[in-house]
Amino acid sequence: MPPLTDRYPLPVLQDPPEAGNERPRTWRSLEELHGSPELAKAAEREFPPGAAEPPRGLDRRRFLQLAGTTAALAGLAACKKPAEKVMPYTVQPPDVKPGLPNAYATAWEAEGYGAGLVVTSWEGRPTKVEGNPDHPVSLGATNHLAQALLVDLYDTTRVRGVKQRGTPRSFKGYLQEQTERASRLEATGGEGLWLLLEPSASPTRRELVERIRQRFPRARVETYHALSRDNVYEGARLAFGRPLETRVRYDEARAVLSLDADFLTQGPYALREAREFSRARLPERGAMSRLYVAESHHGVTGMNADHHLRMKPSEVERFALAVLGELARTHGLPGLEGYRELELGWPEKAREVRAVAGDLARNGERAVVVVGERQPPRVHAVAHLLNAVLGSQTRLITLYEPGIEAVRSGPQVLRELSEAASAGRVDTLVMTAFNPVYTAPVGVTLGAALSAVPNAVYLALREDETSKHSAWVLPAAHVLESWGDTRAVDGTASILQPLIEPLFQGLTELDVLSPFAGVAEQTPYQLVKAHWQRRTQTAGPAFEDTWEQWLAVGTIPGTQLQGTRATLDAGAVEASVRSFARKPSQGLELNLLPGYKLRDGRYFHNAWLQEMPDPLTMLSWSNAALLSPGTAERLSLKPRDKVKLTFRGRWVEAPVYVLPGHADDTVSLELGWGREWSGDPEAPEELGVNAYLLRHADAPWFAEGLQVEKVEGRGRYATSQDHWAMEGREVAIQDTLEAFEKKKPEYLEHLKGPVEELYEPFQYDEGYQWAMAVDLSRCIGCGACVVACQAENNIPVVGREQVERGREMYWLRVDRYFEGTPEEPRAIPQPMMCQHCEKAPCEYVCPVNATVHSDEGLNEMVYNRCIGTRYCSNNCPYKVRRFNYLDYRPKVTELEKLGFNPDVTVRMRGVMEKCTYCVQRIERARIESRKERRPIDTEALQSACAQVCPTEAIAFGSLHVKESEVARRHADPRHYAVLHELGTKPRTAYLARIKNPNPELEHG
């Protein structure tokens, strides 16, 4: 079959750049690449179809009448006294001042390990989450999941109060009954007692579990997580004889081979590793690292690869062994002698294998191989072997003893529990693991088994599939309501301190475990404090001062570990490799992926994460069956066709999404979907497809044997991939290191410098000149900045239907472009926000002066002036203005309002919104500087998107400080202005994305 580019030739730019500046054309979807007539017709409308249309049955004149009436009524209401009683502080806390925010250090656990947070609180209500710069994992950054924690905190659908078989009970009554039952179980050594816990690195919880084991020696204490890391630990056990954690220093690596590892966004050290990886990708630094990613889908790490090696998920293991064989035969690395005679080659991938192995051998101790959690233990063991013989095991890698409670947390645990409960051998079951009934593999009827347990206790944030079968349902405290502690992978300990009193009488895991540990009378605060007091062996005022310092800083000094030494068991690894069955994969493979936004489904009810576009597919509010263009064509499938996916007798129906760069003969489906959305209790709807219905314990991630059948109807999903298209213009620029070095210092000259101007230059006074710079070489496209902007600026969620119509309200979006062929595309993520043009086209057309320019370079919006003409949006070439056409907050509860940032106006319908460079932060910094009679610290002042970014891709500051990072980037040879030819002179500069491809693969 000829490649798609032969059948669909790439369109030619209508206005090509000058000679010598040609680059491959970028495209955002297959429809755009192939010149779809429907898409071309939609592009003529200036905005996505439906985005500019008034609500059904409402013409523009009537809408303006209603909008005016709404504004008048709002003004009248503001003149009345509030109906609610407002009570002042009886005794105002010394650290709480109305109108002034406070920041508190705390932490949260992701993947079982801790990461540091700093949370902004206004009069006792947390409103913004940031990373703790003093924590070795977060380094001041967070991801999209941490940014959205506030949505779960203020969720009105959370479990309220203790319930026994649906009947409200008091926590005191629960404690009394569990204490009595624990006394009876003690007589039998705990026979019939099971604990099913979430993986955690909490030292205090570990102490409680040890007390429970001592008190009940015959009890079963297990951990469970649907996205288990068992393969990681079993691979280390195979290579070293014991489970270990691996920490890689990517800033020192020169060649990285990722075998199905999305290390930039997943894993307990992802934030720090993303920061270090991005620093190794700067062309001005000198030697630039090179990344190879072998995977089936197109994850965030794959999007940033110099070479994306697409293959079936089962073929990743074969590729790893082929690289091993090439290093043994061709390069003769010491320690690989036993592999030289083995038939480990892969003729169809010989070119890729040869190039990757050669690059690893050349870089030696600065080359590293990493493996994802989905791959079997043998692949992990082979990676440890390769790192040992290359020398990176000692140069780039640190090994740590696992800090979590137990290293076995896979589906086999649920099978054993289900069998014991069905046989009547479980009297008391305490569950803190997330929703095991929903995430259980096929064949494990855990729901029915739980119903047979007399005393099944479940700690849950919301009512779910597991709570329906539990005798006791306890309200879980949110992490921002909890006392606790945790450790990072490197051992660094942090104290979790609450930012707010539990809103729904929430309980922590320590509360639930305490009656079985014999300490039911102690609170979590007392348990944690007593644990660390014993660890420090201090008491009295000395410990109180130390405790206060720990809470203020967010980490406990002296708890970081130095790593451990381990000797590779080469014989065990070789024996495992020799047992590998080299059977080629046949037919279609089912490929189950961890949810990027929902993980195992625990964030399903988080509206911010639901609406956030996926970094690759740009999907919102749903998942879909991902297929490659070639496979979709072979099966005669088109986007949004509905298909029936059948695997081992079980089936689900899903819409088709054709994803460039996806592996052929593979269908990928994200976990965590297919549940009922309770955002609207009156009309709940099911979002996405439940991939757990196809998941088996012996094939938790991928397996062959999938059958795909097209069925009647059209699938539904919302995607923003074709919204706000730039119609083939040079927007997201990507180049190779070789081309960049050749073209300096004239690089991108046609996108810099003066252009013909119609208006007089804008005159700025001396002083601050705010600007931003986005380094595309650092940007990994994770989307954390999108959610951070939403949290900071009270941006509403619009829902699936409005996203489908192109009405998403994000002030900052991350566009995803491709260049190259649909089979082997190269991805380019690009954050796009208001450019704050010095000659802003929006300002010239506003009839009421609602959008104006400040003398510090800000393009400002005066909401009270805006009458909703939308002329500014029509005239904006970057399409970054959002019209608040509907009232997207009609049912916002008083509880949800607690999460609003009081520094930012909550806009009503009928006004234009856009990025403001977080002007509220600028003004607050200005007020503080005036009080202290000093200039604004422009280096400390950060916009929300710059502060959250784990890779430091976004820099914000003032251009008048010549040595500032933003000024340096504006003078960087890679910088350019988007749509420079229009003469808008944007204050946001972009630095071109530079790749470092292997010449052996790039030129064939």
pLDDT in tens, 380-412: 999 999 999 999 999 999 999 999 887 888 899
Please give the structure tokens belonging to residue 768. Answer: 């601050």
Distant-in-sequence, close-in-space partners of 557: CB < 8 Å, separation ≥ 6: none
- The span from the CA of 295 to the CA of 308, in Å, is 8
Q: Exposure pattern of 285-306 as b/e (b: 16+ CB <10 Å)?
A: eeebbbbbbbbbbbbbbbbbbb
What pLDDT sits at residue 679?
A: 58
What pLDDT sits at residue 42?
A: 55
pLDDT in tens, 718-730: 887 765 565 667 7
- The span from the CA of 455 to the CA of 438, in Å, is 20
Give the Cα-Cα-Cα angle 425, 427, 432 (nearest 5 degrees). 110
Please give the structure tokens belonging to residue 180. Answer: 């009595």
Q: For residue 778, which amino acid is it?
A: R
Please give the structure tokens belonging to residue 618. Answer: 């740009």
DSSP 3-state of 590: strand
Give the start-end residues of each E strand in 192-288.
Answer: 193-197, 220-223, 245-248, 255-259
Q: How many CA atoms lie less than 13 Å away from 815 in the CB half-sphere?
A: 21
Q: For residue 806, which amino acid is it?
A: G
Distant-in-sequence, close-in-space partners of 872: CB < 8 Å, separation ≥ 6: 842, 843, 845, 846, 850, 851, 881, 912
What pLDDT sits at residue 12?
A: 37
What's the count of helices (H) and strands (E) in the chain, helices before strands?
34, 41
Stated as kind and residue range, the H or E segment containing 511 is: helix 509-517
- The span from the CA of 930 to the CA of 272, in Å, is 36
Angle between helices 570-578 and 377-390 (to 10 degrees): 130
Please give the structure tokens belonging to residue 421. Answer: 């409960």
In angstroms, the Cα distances linking 758 to 561, 664, 839 are 63, 52, 10
670 within 8 A of 610, measured Cβ to Cβ:
no
pLDDT averaged per 10 residues, the chain (length 1004): 40 43 67 64 57 53 44 34 46 77 92 93 92 94 96 93 91 90 91 95 95 95 94 96 95 96 94 95 88 94 95 95 94 88 87 95 96 96 97 95 88 93 94 96 92 94 94 96 95 94 93 92 94 88 92 93 92 92 82 95 94 93 94 94 95 94 96 82 77 95 94 86 66 91 86 80 80 96 95 92 87 92 91 94 93 92 91 91 83 86 88 94 94 93 96 95 94 93 93 94 70
**Residue 258: beta bridge partners?**
293, 370
- The span from the CA of 250 to the CA of 780, in Å, is 15
Distant-in-sequence, close-in-space partners of 22: CB < 8 Å, separation ≥ 6: 16
- The DSSP code sequence of 772-814 is EEEETTT-----HHHHHHHHHTTPPP--HHHHHTT----SSEE
- The span from the CA of 418 to the CA of 697, in Å, is 13
- The span from the CA of 198 to the CA of 600, in Å, is 12
Q: Give just the sign of the alpha carbon dihedral 347, 348, 352, 356.
A: negative
Neighbours of 417 (CB within 10 A): 26
- The span from the CA of 88 to the CA of 241, in Å, is 63
428 within 8 A of 192, measured Cβ to Cβ:
yes
- The span from the CA of 48 to the CA of 389, in Å, is 54
- The span from the CA of 41 to the CA of 487, in Å, is 55
What pLDDT sits at residue 76?
A: 33
DSSP 3-state of 819: strand
- The DSSP code sequence of 68-106 is HHHHHHHHHHHHSPPSS-----SS--TT-BTTB-EEEEE
- The span from the CA of 682 to the CA of 108, in Å, is 34
What residue spans of 284-432 are helical by DSSP H?
300-303, 315-329, 350-363, 377-390, 392-395, 411-422
301 closest CA partner among 326, 323, 315, 281: 281
Cis ω before 825 (30° cut-off from 0): no
920 closest CA partner among 217, 173, 99, 166: 99
Looking at residue 690, the DSSP 8-state letter turns out to be: -
In angstroms, the Cα distances linking 595 to 71, 530, 614, 616, 768 are 42, 38, 10, 13, 43
What pLDDT sits at residue 686?
A: 86
What pLDDT sits at residue 81?
A: 34
412 within 8 A of 441, measured Cβ to Cβ:
no
Please give the structure tokens belonging to residue 332. Answer: 């003769």
